[in-house]
Structure 1
Amino acid sequence: MSDTAETPEVHSALDRAVEGQVADAVKGNWVDRLAPVWTRPYLRLSRADRPVGTWLLYLPCLWGVTLAAASTGFRWIDLWIVLGCGIGAFLMRGAGCTWNDITDRNIDGEVARTRSRPIPSGQVTVAQAVFWMVIQSLAAFCILITFNAAAIAMGVASLALVAIYPFAKRFTWWPQVFLGLAFNWGAMLAWVAHTGSLSLAPVLLYLAGIAWTIFYDTIYAHQDKEDDALIGVKSTARLFAENTPVRLQQFLIAATGLMVLGVLLALLRPAGGTAAFMGLIGTAGFALHMSWQLRRLDTENTDRCLSLFRSNRDAGLIPVLCFGLAILA
């Protein structure tokens, strides 16, 4: 056989590269199948072919608005908050990922899982990526200004966290904390959009979300730990190493405990025992799902890590469902 002969696996990899598909995208996703060809590099920049990140940004918003509605009563504006936060999560996750790819373009080219992304693979220039980021940000701002003044101020304030996050892995072993600070801001913003003011309950929900983010993003980061070590990128996956299951259990407990406190504070007195019970059921389901993930975790199995990471959409939906039922209690 010639030295240049290609195995089926190599041929498949080359086909994917020619088509511009990203290595860790969901197979058969709508971007690769249905989107006009000229839009695909931009949608891949926004991670539209990997929708779980949008869910993980959106779910804390749903926690905030449903818990607020269960606490103080449903309002028709809540339907717009749910829809507006969904659109905003898609847009701001896209803008944030574009910013992340701009800042990480040299690092991504050195990591097997990320070198197929649009900028390191040459599908999009940096200037084009900056333009796309601005477009998405402006569209998200148009959604934000339909909320009350306090929520608008909170939304603008979150931009500092979004800007800092891509650099965190260069100076701290805890970049997942910075991701959590940015990704769970919506829990407070959606609460404020409903109530007009901030209180302790949504802050506790926010802190629970940060602990949850450290949990799921540490699992995600185990996919890249070998490449990260070679290029000097820090992460909790590298920091925790073989102690990852024990450390993740600690963050599971923290996330659960903080959510329990937030639910009790929001629901026990103003809404009553039935509503609080439903909220606690949601928290228990959330904790059980994370416990299931821990039982299945194999940090040396990258496919398993990616699958467990993606399953956190379902984990985060459990509180949403129960908080929603608490509104009816």
Structure 2
Amino acid sequence: MGKILMRAASLATGLALAVSVTATAELPASAASTCSASFSRYQVISKGSKGSQAKAMECLLRKAGYSATVNGSFSVHDAAKLARFRRSVGLSPLKVAGPRPWSALLSQGSRPALERGDKGADVLRLQRSLRALGYTKVTLTSYFGANTVAAVKSAQKKRGQKQTGRATTAVWSALQHGRVAAVPAPKKAVAKKTASRASSSSKGAKALAFAKRQIGDSYRYGATGPNSWDCSGLTGGAWKAAGVKIPRTSQAQYRAGKKVAKSDLKPGDLVFFYSGISHVGIYAGSGNVIHASRPGQPVAKIKMKYMPYQGARRYS
């Protein structure tokens, strides 16, 4: 009788431990709730980002197998998980999410063949991924319509694939590994009566808009895009996007253009720093510049006051 009671007590203890483990163990990533990740525009997410898009990024990372905290406040811990995800798909391990990391996370999962007329959750997953890359005509309807076909064809063209408009395994693979470059913002038509006044301010705004889209890209010495930049490579690329070709190096860029007083800076002007004009950024307003600084640091916006100012130039 005593042995029976001892076995019963042991069994009860084991059951209690099992219940305790089940109650306290962390749930697998696949058990995370469905992520609310449908947005008209996907913002750059980094340490300190807050709100619904930060929460969506955390949720997507968790579903991808990374233990992010889904609370709408993107922490240092979350940023580290983002860097790990980026490395896992072949992107540089930065702690910033721009269009390509968003697209890679949004498209994670199976790779079903999809074509015009298809409907369902996989179509929505595809549409979110394309929308994050800047395909603004793609609506998140879960229906594979004409705009989705056009976006898939464009992505296939960027990758050198046959432009069928069908979501093949190759299309899914490119999206899931962040290998489809983001599309530039659509150009706005200019009214005829103002076309003759396409001045430095409008071109400067275009140059700045280009630079903003590169925030989060990696730094690489001598790089001129599309995914890595050095300081003058970024500023040259920005002004090229505005239709103005400027010299390649920071020193040559300083010698070109019109001299601008620090008090008269406008968005798009190039601002030069350090003795010997060894660094350049593009003015972003309110005392800020966007620049590609050094290895290990992504393209970012920073206060001018943190670097020794040497001068500024305007190019139109």
Q: Same fold (TM over 0.5)?
A: no
Higher helix share: 1
Higher strand share: 2
Q: Which has the higher contact order (CA 8 A, sep 6+)?
A: 1
| TM-score, reference length from structure 1 | 0.30
| TM-score, reference length from structure 2 | 0.31
User: Which has the greater radius of gyration?
Assistant: 2
